[in-house]
Structure 1
Amino acid sequence: MDDVKIGEILVPGSADEHSRREEDVRRKFWRTAKKAARQVPFMEDVIAGYYCALDRETPARVRGILLAALAYFVLPLDMVPDFLAGFGFTDDVAVLVAALSAVRSHITPAHRLAAKRALEDAE
């Protein structure tokens, strides 16, 4: 996936778009994360990003970038449909890597601890 398309996906968007994305992410994140767990080798980082995106202390622009990437992740049909075995999450991985790289300094130890605990509870 080229940088232009990733850049378009990661645009934080308006307040209305931000709210819609947050609602979609809250509703669909865990179901999608469970399906993608074997295909996304950095799932703990994705979950830490999820907690960072929902943290009201996180700056709005950072929350917007994360919510945009996570909304793309939870959509069932995107550039490469998620149901395609072996390939379905490749575009999602590219978007998530770009978003997490852009906001890495805002993901706190508390977000990482919450992600670790969530993964332990899922086992």
Structure 2
Amino acid sequence: MSKNEAYQRLHEYAEKASPQDVQKIREKLTGMNRGPIKKIWNDVLSLWRMITDPSASWTSKAIAIGAVLYLVSPLDGVPDLLPLVGLTDDAAVVLAAVATLAFELKKYRDAKQSDTVDGKKSHVAATPS
């Protein structure tokens, strides 16, 4: 997936983002820490923290929701079940969101807590990438 395609997909999903999508994400996100996503898991956790932060702006949340919804959605550009390439398009969309929200995500990356989607402490530290 090209950089332009990743940004296009990100914006398509962000435009459709809703608060109801948060529960869908919560239910599926923990199973996504695999393949190419494992390398950017701290970025995914930062996006998740933004999504669940009541003080984050809706515009930023919508972008974060769009990216993470694309990640957990089985209906995307390249099926996630394909070995090696299945999650590469998802990683590209997550990275596009991270680039778009870079300044705002810094505080979530710097957060000392390493909570996961289910609210429990993670064995994967949420340190800056």
Tell me which residue corresponds to 2:55: 57
Tell me which residue corresponds to 1:10: 10
| 18 and 9 in structure 1: CA distance in 2 versus 1, 3 angstrom threshold | farther
Spell out structure 1 runs of 4+ moving beyond 4 A: none
Pairing partner for 1:118 from 116, 122, 125: 122
Gaps of 5+ in 1: none
TM-score normalised by the chain length of structure 2 = 0.75
SS of the residue corresponding to residue 119 of structure 1 reads: coil
SS of the residue corresponding to residue 18 of structure 2 reads: helix
Matches within 5 A, 1:37-76: 38-40=35-37, 41-76=39-74
Structure with greater helix share of residues: 1
The percent identity for this pair of structures is 23
Gaps of 5+ in 2: none
Aligned length: 115
For residues 21-78 of structure 1, the C-alpha deviation after alignment (integer angstroms, 9 at most, x for no partner) is 2221122111223xx2x42212112112111121111111110000000000001231
TM-score normalised by the chain length of structure 1 = 0.78
Moved more, 66-75 or 101-110: 101-110
